[in-house]
Amino acid sequence: MPELVHEAHDVVRGYVVSVQAVYDPQRKHVYTHTTVEVVEDMRTGLMKPRTIVIRQLGGKVDGIETTLTGNAPLGLGEEVVVFARTDGAFHYLIGMAQGKYSVLRSKGNVPQLQRSLHGIHGVKRSGIAIPQAPNSLSLGELRTQVMATLKKEVRQ
């Protein structure tokens, strides 16, 4: 989790409001542009609405398809938490699918986050034990972990 927070320009919760595949003729690849309407900035705690566009390699347009194992599926209408870097125009998920949690809500329960890393295989670093961010936790637990990581960074 500290690595995700440290690498991200934005850690935000929001709703997927559009998904569009586009062909980039310069790079000769299809990209998917996903617009997320942000409702919470977890780095600042602010609830200031804004939109970001997440760009991922892969998609299908006009019979041209690019696929990439490890992408995070972002479904229209889905509530998500994303860890992303930006180049000023687009946002890019940190660690591909590692940088996206789905927000699951059920009546009477606290919102839960779920991350799917299906098909992703990590590389083991010899002699170094690096704990992985959890694939499942509550929204409140994530807020706490993000803020604790940011406070720790400020002290150093």
Q: Token pair for residue 92?
A: 């890019």
* Cα 14 to Cα 36: distance, rounded to the nearest angstrom: 6
Residue with tokens 């010899």: 126
Q: Token pair for residue 104?
A: 């699951």
* pLDDT, mean of residues 27-32: 91
Integer angstrom CA distances of residue 35 from 82, 121, 154 = 12, 28, 31
| Residue 106: partners with Cβ closer than 8 Å, 6 or more residues away | 112
- Per-residue pLDDT tens over the stretch 101-146: 999 999 988 999 999 876 666 655 566 655 678 889 999 999 999 9
Residue 75: pLDDT over 90: yes
pTM: 0.88
Contact 80, 13 (CB under 8 A): yes
Domains of the chain, with CATH numbers? 2-116+131-155 (2.40.50.120)
Coil/strand/helix, residue 62: coil
Please report the pLDDT score of residue 87 as a whole number: 96
